[in-house]
Amino acid sequence: MNIKWAKRIEELPPYLFAEIDRKKNELVEKGVDVIDLGVGDPDIPTPEHIVQSLREASGDPEHHRYPSYVGMPAFREAAAEWYSKRFGVTLDPAREVVTLIGSKEGIAHAPLAFLDPGDMALVPDPGYPVYPVSTTFAGGVPHPMPLLKENGFLPDLDAIPAQVAERAVMMFLNYPNNPTTVLADEGFFGEVVDFARENDILVCHDAAYTEIAFYGKNPLSFLEIPGAADVGIEFHSLSKTFSMTGWRLAFAAGNERAIAGLGKIKTNIDSGVFQAVQVAGITALENSSVGLEERKEVYRERLEIFCQGLREAGIEYTVPEATFYVWFEVPEGMTSSEFSERMLTEAGVVVTPGNGFGDCGEGYARVSVTFDTQRIEQAAERIAKFRP
């Protein structure tokens, strides 16, 4: 039998990190010592007090049945309280917060709630591949907003054509930014609020990395900006903050009608997050400062080690003030894919080609330092010796 694939997946390129995994595994099978700096998956274990909370909650039969579609009230209350303490933002947990099975799930479902076929979504380029892919899955049209070095890797809102702004109903943003690592300031977010209000655009801000910042930086929530709650929602994940990537727990917060729309999609598609995981999430949020500085210090040390290797190789890079990534320029005369291929085959180091994040990522590469510090040192030594 010939199984027909829908065009939406037939025409979809391989998921970036899945393709990198395939190439890496081929070399590993040949006995090559490969250091994988591709995916941002924290190697620091989930803090023990969170794990213990799950152990206890998972034994309670109350949590063995279907959870609430939109999340336990107690978890949403904990999320709202955390937002109040961290950002000074007041949220109604019943109407302005919805629990997610990881922020990727919420981001991927958002276009289904807000886009009709032919509508446009403004997406950062380079950016998380899920933004344009989920837009296309919903029948929408992604329109790239270039993130250029000369603009501090912020989109130039004035450069968005008027006819595009008229068709756009959504805008994805992500600060601290993956992959470029830069932060956005209050002035830029204020411009976004004005632009969104003028053009009736819903802003979906992916704030997964607000808690992973260094050198005294204190990233903003988009919802801190006056008027932001009128035009936007924010996705926050427990994955990076608390080393809980495998737990699949996050939440979206902000505009009541937008949260309700996302919740309506979820009630028809999934059955919520295992309640014991949400109980552990409450423990994480209520003790959010426990061990955070120590985890950040590990990432900061690793970032500086890798950046030293880049300097020795004469490679230009963006100083990472947040996230656990390094965004750097590939040597002149090479494409991102060529550099990534040579780093893998000649140095045994997996780096993510920048063009995998969009056309404007060409000429760059990204690494993650979510791996053993000794392996980061080895990778830095290998890249320091790399010669085009």
The enclosing domain of 27 has a CATH number of: 3.90.1150.10
Question: Is 2 contained in some domain?
Answer: no
* Last residue of one domain, picked from the residues 271, 286, 301: 286
Is there a single domain that holds both residue 157 and residue 240?
yes
Residue 181 shares a structural domain with residue 272? yes
Asked whether residue 212 is domain-assigned, the answer is yes
- Indicate if 319 and 361 belong to the same structural domain: yes
How many CA atoms within 13 Å lie on the side-chain side of 173? 33
Question: How many domains, the chain?
Answer: 2
Q: Given the structure tokens 């190439």, which residue do they identify?
A: 23
Tokens linked to 236: 């926050």
Residue 166 included in any domain: yes
- Average pLDDT value for the chain: 94
Lowest mean pLDDT among 9-13, 143-147, 305-309, 359-363: 9-13
Q: Say yes or no to pLDDT of 122 above 90.
A: yes
Co-location of 321 and 183 in the same domain: no
pLDDT at 311: 95
For residue 14, name the pLDDT band (cuts at 50, 70, 90).
Answer: low
* pLDDT tens track for 73-118: 999 999 999 999 999 999 999 999 999 999 999 999 999 999 999 9
Model confidence at 47, in pLDDT bands (50, 70, 90)?
very high
**pLDDT on residue 23:** 78
Structural domain boundaries, residue 375: 7-45+291-384
Task: Clarify whether residues 114 and 70 are in a common domain.
Answer: yes
The answer to whether 89 and 323 have CB atoms below 8 angstroms apart is: no
- Assess if residue 1 is contained within a domain: no
| DSSP string covering 127-177 | --THHHHHHHHTT-EEEEEE--GGGTT---GGGS-HHHHHHEEEEEE-SS-
Q: Band of the pLDDT at 26, cuts 50, 70, 90? A: confident
Query: What angle, 0 to 180 degrees and rounded to 10, lies between the N-to-C axes of helices 256-269 and 103-114?
Result: 100
Q: Is residue 203 part of a domain?
A: yes
- The more confidently predicted of residues 219 and 23 is 219
Query: What's the chain's length in residues?
Result: 388
Q: HSE on the CB side for 329, CA within 13 Å?
A: 12
pLDDT of residue 118: 95
298 within some domain? yes
Q: pLDDT-derived band of residue 27, with 50, 70 and 90 as boundaries?
A: confident
Looking at the fold, whether 186 and 305 belong to one and the same domain comes out as no
Are 259 and 150 contained in the same domain? yes
pLDDT-above-70 percentage for the chain: 98
* Domain closes at, from 232, 256, 286: 286
The answer as to whether 14 is a domain residue is: yes
| Residue pair 251/68 in contact by the 8 Å Cβ criterion | no
- For residues 133 and 242, state if they share a domain: yes
Read off the pLDDT band of 17 (50, 70, 90).
Answer: low
The answer to whether residue 173 is domain-embedded is yes
**Whether residue 65 sits in one domain with residue 202:** yes
The DSSP element (H or E) to which 124 belongs, if any, is strand 120-125
Say if residue 93 is in the same domain as residue 238.
yes
Q: Are residues 122 and 20 in the same domain?
A: no
For position 237, which CATH number holds?
Answer: 3.40.640.10
Domain boundary among 286, 314, 342: 286
Contact 283, 57 (CB under 8 A): no
Q: Domain check: are 162 and 242 in the same one?
A: yes
Burial profile 241-267: b = 16 or more Cβ within 10 angstroms, e = fewer: bbbbbebbbbbbbbbeebbebbbebbe
Residue 387: pLDDT band with limits 50, 70, 90: confident
Q: What pLDDT digit, counting tens, does each position of 356-386 carry?
A: 999 999 999 999 999 999 999 999 999 998 8
